[in-house]
Structure 1
Amino acid sequence: MLKGFIFFKTGKIPFVINNYRMELFTDDILLNDFCKEYNSKNNYLLNGQCFDTGISGRIAVFLVEYSLGTTCYLRCYTISMLTKDEHFRFDTIGLQSSFLDDIFRYKYNYLDLVQSGYNLAIQPIDVYRIPFDMNDLHYEFTFRIGLDTRLGLLENFDKKGELILPLHTKQIQECYNITQVFYRLAMFMTSLANVPFKQITLYNKGAKAGWFYCPLCSENILSGYDLYFHDFNVMKYIPKILNNIALDSGSKITKSIPLGHLGDFDSLFSPQRFMEQIVSFEYLFDKLDRKNAQNTRFPLKQELTHMFNEFPHLLSNTKASSEKTSEQIKELRRTIVHGYSYYYDFKNDHNIQYLMLLLDNLIKNMSLKWIGFSTEDILNYIIL
């Protein structure tokens, strides 16, 4: 829980934040004026101070998604290291995530560097530099491992890898867009919906300036996917995948690959996720074969058959044909959509589990093709 106050007109309004919901409270007429001004607005900024480290307030900026009465629902916020009433400046964002560590092969790079004679407890090393474009702006991020002893060895002793990215607009909205894109990158690479950041740091001229907080952050979840990326060619796959994901940094997806069908361990096998898989398949089929996608005489079964024939390796270890498999998926969709039956527990039906895992792989292959990878690249890509 975070406490503080926001600046409004010539006064201050106290707040309490819990789970990114800011509750404002005061007997002053100032709160009524605030409600009249902001209850009809969306996506606006508030400036204030928070008191999370004692009696000295630190500068804070809040991006409010929308307000209802005296409640502000926050999209994200930043907190400065400064306690003085100074302008909060930052020019770089640093993302720490155990999932990104796995994707960028932190453990394997660490071992290779140490065996080569590098002392990563003295000076950090940039392992990858990868450019990408987002919102008509050109970026280049660095994946960095190691500690800088000039800041003190225990300054961030738990830190492993960190993704460092210089900013253009240096605004909180840009930080939010960047976190969305790299969160989606981790989603696609791990095939999981819940891949939170551990910590997001803001820097100014190389020095730590503050922190960025959003619902995509959590310290309670750890990854365990490093084995899958043992032989992963980062420089071959990540630039293309990231550039595609960055085509859509907002909530509406029109150009990039779909990710809404991904789930966590609790929702891996459910009727809802199966239907989301179908939506993602249809979205990608429209991208890859617009003519047949718009043809009303080319139903779902034919679309599925066409795509399974496009990626025959998906059924190479089974006796089922593409036509039979497509018929099973089509029939499962029909029984759910038209209410002929409802499956309360997909986990007990092994055939449904197999079909859903097969759909996941098909969607992953179609996504890689839409990104622009060749058939050989797709066959050599790791499948999670």
Structure 2
Amino acid sequence: MVKGFIFFRDGKIPFVIENYRMELFTDDSLLDDFCKEYNFKENYILHGQCFDIGIRGRKATFLVENSMGSTCYLRCYIINMFDKDEEYDSIGLQSPSLDEVFRYEYEYIDMVRAGINLAVEPKIVYKVPFGMNDQKYELEFRIGHDNRLGLLEDLDRKGELILPLHTNEIQECYDITNVLHRLAMFMTSNAEVPFKRITLYRQGLKAGWFYCSLISEDIVGGHGGFFHEFDVMKYIPKILNNIALDSGNKITQSIPLGHLGDFNSMYTPQRFVEQVMAFEFLFDKLDRKNAQNPKFPLKKELECMFNEFPQLLSRTKIPAEMISDQIKEIRRTIAHGYAYYYDFKNDSNTKCLMIFLDKLIKCMSLKWIGFSNNDISNYILF
């Protein structure tokens, strides 16, 4: 729980934050004025102080998604190192999932074997340029520690993604975080890939911390083995540049990721419908003529794409036509209410179809990004 004050007009309103829900409370009429001004307002910024460590306040900035009365639902917030305005020049994100994608363990071992002392200063392993919101960025993946910081250094940190900031705005930090979270989702085919910590820097020194619902210190990786021979610079630049085309909630140019689930939602009818939606979106990108043809139904679309990537069904004797028909029938059954499913956990056939759909969507996504069929067949998917 985070406590503090927000600045409003010439006064201060106390608050508590829990699960990114800010509750304002005071007997002062100032709260009534706040509610009148901000009730049902969306996407606005508040400034204040946090008292999360001791009695000394620290400057804080809050990005409010929406508010109702005295309750503000936060998209994210920043707490400065000290109680003063800070100028940030870069943001550092620690992600166990992206550590694995960027091959942290393998790169670390290779550097140590080469005699590089990673306890002296961080080493840049990869640089990935990309564009977002009409700005140019260069992502750096670093490993190692800076001995000049002493006990101020994050000694439990593994890899860290460092990006320059073009503004001092909290929205830019949120957009970067959102895009890199989507990168982790795509690479691991999992929706549950939070960051461990997000730090704001000024000239290499910590100046503040960024908080949002995409952060969890309890997260651990689990996909490292899949990236043992992964060619980072062959795939990541194109994938990241595509994902960064849309940093908001609506996408029109980048690959869809809403169909990805976690352990609990992996085999639910809701995710199945999301898979079909993602497939339809990508099919429209790859074959707009047939996608707009009313005589080219879902079954034919599926069959067309399964035939485009024959390696998907190379280990099964079931033809693409039959698999496509089964997917179409399940979608029709759900959409028209012929049957209601809580989940498909005990239905091995439907689970298998959903796995095929996941792989098909991944192939179509890579195709839309610009990879050749040969590059796709060599991707870690297989």
Is contact 1:202-1:208 (8 Å) kept? yes
Question: What is the RMSD computed on CA atoms of the aligned residues?
Answer: 1.0
Mapped to 1, the partners of 2:273 and 2:38 lie a distance apart of: 38
Aligned to 2:74: 74
Counterpart position of 1:182: 180
Question: What CA distance in whole angstroms lies between the structure 1 residues aligned with 2:152 and 2:28?
Answer: 45
Counterparts of 1:86-165 in structure 2, within 5 Å, are 86-152=84-150, 155-165=153-163
TM-score when normalising by structure 1? 0.98
Segments of 5+ residues of structure 2 without an aligned counterpart are none
Question: Which amino acid counterpart does residue 96 of structure 1 have in structure 2?
Answer: Q
SS at match of 1:339: coil
- Supply the AA of the counterpart residue of 1:165: L
Separation in structure 2 between the aligned mates of residue 125 and residue 173 of structure 1, nearest angstrom: 29
Q: Describe the superposition over 1:163-199 as per-residue Cα deviations: whole angstroms up to 9, x where unpaired.
A: 0000112210000000000000000000001100000
> Within 2, Cα distance between the matches of 1:59 and 1:332?
53
Residue number in structure 2 paired with 1:8: 8
Partner SS state of residue 232, structure 1: coil
| Distance across 2 between alignment mates of 1:48 and 1:305 | 56
C-alpha distance in 2, partners of 1:207/1:111?
27
- The one-letter code of the counterpart of 1:3 is K
The question of whether the paired residues in 2 share the 8 Å contact of 1:301 and 1:330 is answered with yes
Provide the secondary structure at the position in 2 that maps to 1:377.
Answer: helix
Moved more, 12-21 or 343-352: 343-352
Q: Runs in 1 of length 4+ with deviation above 4 angstroms?
A: none
For 1:335-354, what aligned pairs fall within 5 Å after superposition? Answer: 335-354=333-352
**Aligned with residue 217 of structure 1, among 208, 215, 228:** 215
| Structure 2 residue aligned with 1:264 | 262
How far apart in 2 are the matches of 1:129 and 1:364?
24
Tell me if the contact between 2:64 and 2:75 (Cα under 8 Å) persists in the aligned partners. Answer: yes
Q: Which runs of 5+ in 1 are unaligned?
A: none
Give the whole-Å Cα distance in 2 for the aligned partners of 1:339 and 1:10: 57
The count of residues paired between Structure 1 and Structure 2 equals: 382
What is the TM-score of this pair, normalised by structure 2? 0.99
- Alpha-carbon distance in structure 2 between the residues aligned to 1:78 and 1:22: 14
In structure 2, the partner of 1:280 is 278
1:333 CA drift (Å)? 1.0
Amino acid aligned to 2:219: I
- Tell me what 1:29 maps to: 29
One-letter code aligned to 1:28? D
Residue number in structure 2 paired with 1:330? 328
Q: Deviation at 1:40?
A: 4.2
**Post-superposition shift, 1:343?**
2.5
Q: Secondary structure at the match of 1:323?
A: helix
Listed one character per residue, the Cα deviations across residues 229-285 of structure 1 (whole Å, up to 9, x for unaligned) are 000000000000000000000000111000010000111111111111000000000
CA distance in 1, matches of 2:321, 2:224: 36
Question: SS of 2:61's equivalent?
Answer: strand
- Which residue number in structure 1 is paired with residue 57 of structure 2? 57
8 Å contact from structure 2 (residues 40, 69) kept in 1: no
Q: Distance in 2 between matches of 1:91 and 1:308?
A: 46
Deviation digits for residues 44-85 of structure 1, max 9, x if unmatched?
1111000011111000000111110000110100001113xx
Distance in 2 (CA, whole Å) between partners of 1:348 and 1:154 is: 50
What letter is aligned with 2:202? Answer: N
Paired-residue identity, %: 69
One-letter amino acid matched to 2:206: K
| Structure 1 counterpart of 2:204, from 203, 206, 222 | 206
CA distance in 1, matches of 2:25, 2:180: 36
Distance across 2 between alignment mates of 1:196 and 1:363: 22
Instruction: Give deviations 1:105-150, integer Å, cap 9, x for gaps.
Output: 0000000000000011111100001100001111001000000000
Q: Distance in 2 between matches of 1:332 and 1:172?
A: 43
Per-residue deviation at 1:345?
Answer: 3.4
Q: Which amino acid aligns with 2:77?
A: Y
